Structure 1
Amino acid sequence: MIVRQFLHWVRAARPGERAEATSALARAYLHSDLSVDDLAAAEGAMIMLLDDPSPLVRQAMADVFASSQKAPPVVVHALASDQFEVAQPLLDRSPLLGDDDLVDLIKAGKPPVQLAIAGRPLLTTTVAATIAEEATAEACLTLLENSEANITLSSVERIIDRFGHLAPVRENLLARDDLPMSMRQALLSKLSRTLAGFVTERQWLGPQHAEYAAREACEKATLALAAETPYEEVGELVQHLRRSGQLTAGMLLRGLLSGNVVLFEEALAELSQLSIDRVTGHVHDKNLAGFRALYLKAELPEIAYPAFRAALTALREGVLVGESGGAARLKRRMVERVIDLCAAEPCDTALFALLRRFAVEAAREEARLFCDDLVADAAIGARRPAMTPAITDARVAA
């Protein structure tokens, strides 16, 4: 029997020779017309070779069996748990490694193994979810870059929770056209916290000042994102903001002063647990008694109520009519009108301070846009071709 002769010879052969012979035996197992007895003997020989002290021998089998459906499963499973250099071809593509096998290998926690599995073709949602939950940041990024992987939104959300602060992960996700707005906002929030930590670590700002600046920047970015959010996704974005503790009175007031009434109404519906139709009716009712009751049911802070009431009054007066820029930024006339209305009655000093900060921010943004327009107009004028003297004379003569 050929296998018996192979076993006698292999005991005394050098590692390189054993590896070549093992590769030939594995190929024969897959492609030669062996009898049932010879196949069983060959499989037994290869199982014995799993204990060969040279990784070259085991790697030779792994290379041959990596893409085959006909490989002996017991050999494939043993090689997949071998040292990484041996296991890699099987981890990359072996069809004999099922979801349970891959999940166990991921949970074993070896980063190179996790990385190899994350790049496999046609990864199932089960394996992708395990990578999102258990694997390293590098493996999760490889998963996101794997166009053949089946990744659910819940797995993407888990990757954001774990690694959204890392720039490569964040950039990959933000480049996706199908990423929900709630997850985009979660990435913005991660970025703001990362920047706050960076600034504090460098001692450029104190911890409280850095935290405030990051929160304000996140609110501004969130409102800009909300202005681009399709109507049917606004409710989901609001739910995310509430779950993450970001649906604050300050953010809602900023949104209303930016003219984003849809976000304001969805937030009140979420906080009050009333239907959006009832909330819309109270917000647009000239009688503010209904809005007052709605505000209380939403459990928003009492000290901020005068500003919200004044903002709704300003909206009914048409303060935003003719305003440009959509609902992505604070509107200067709106903020100044609310300050005037609030000044006519006793108001909390903290509320006034917030409104004044909004007024300064709105004025600076308005000035920046005005200057941008001036520069753009000047650039357009500079590109226009000047009339030649001959043309000018002809026009004058005419």
Structure 2
Amino acid sequence: MTVQTIRPQLTEDDILRLMRGETPEQRASVAHRLCRRIALDVLSDREKAFADEIIAILAEDAADLVRRTLAITLRSSPALPHDVALRLAHDIEAVAIPLLQDSPVFSDEDLVELVLSVTAAKQAAIASRESVSITVSEVITEHGAVEAVRALSINSGAEWTDKSFDDTLRRFGRDEIVQAGLIKRDFIPTHIAEKMVSLVSGQLFDILVNRHELPAQLAIDLAASARERATIDLVEQAGRTNDLPRFVSQLNLNGRLSNSLIMRALCCGQMRFVEHALSELSGVAHQRVWLMIHDAGPLGLQAVFDRAGLPRKMLPAFKAAVTVFHETQHDGGSNDRARFRARMIERVLTQFQAIPKDDLDYLLDKLDYYSEMATREDAREGIDAA
């Protein structure tokens, strides 16, 4: 078999230059051309065997440039032989890192063994892979260098478990880069958010308490603290909690279930919070409160409103906000909750003229927040689609 079987444009002279090229640059140039064809062409079994032989020769080249060319050209290709990939993974970092970050030929077992035996930079490359399984993630957080844990913390394709989070905080909980990576993840467990409250400060603290669910009592205590009063949003916390009745009960026990908080939540479309708040204050079961708000006409709403002890002067605005909620639709798209809440606030602000200044400022801030969130998600989707 000749090399022309794999690539007609590659001549016998090319193969000689590949094996005996006078300079690394000459051999690297030929290696690039050949590896591109190996990566792109559909090869027969005989052609694949011949290609594997050539790849093995390239992987043994004394010149770093040639081996790096091989690694970069075949970094995403399943055509790279498994044994060669493992050999190159233990090569110098310039050769190994492209493969560790992208090669599909590594199994989870391979990656675990590599994490336990390679340098911090190589570990970080593994942590930056498009997807990182639970098994690999747990090994990195338990045994990896801080560089690797930093990379894993910002990798949205990495799967995290409670063990991963716990090991990360135990080992690197005071590292600000790790803190920022964890806080900016879409989700962190409640007990991890609670631990991080005492570790972070400044802007990271603001992001933590306004992006992730905190234990109910901790959220309430922070909201009551003079130092943190301007940062934590109990309406947002209510929307995140997995145990809303308990959260509302804790608010009431701490004297934080105020008329203003309920009205703000309603204007932001946080209807479940409003329902449970009226249930808590009125002593009426949540299911009955739901019917009285949504399905019993204006007299039902008025009855539960009075039973909850809310001032009658709030009732017209409350009724109007409930009507707006019923008339405002989710659009069914990605991140439609943010768009729904933005539309809800816009309509509330349009219809109500006598909103107290503090509540008005709050709603305007939330309108900016939800609008920006929806715009950012739409832009991200546009980039992904392109």
Larger radius of gyration: 1
RCO (CA 8 Å, sep 6+): is it higher in 1 or 2?
1
Task: Give the TM-score normalised by the residue count of structure 2.
Answer: 0.48
Task: Give the TM-score normalised by the residue count of structure 1.
Answer: 0.47
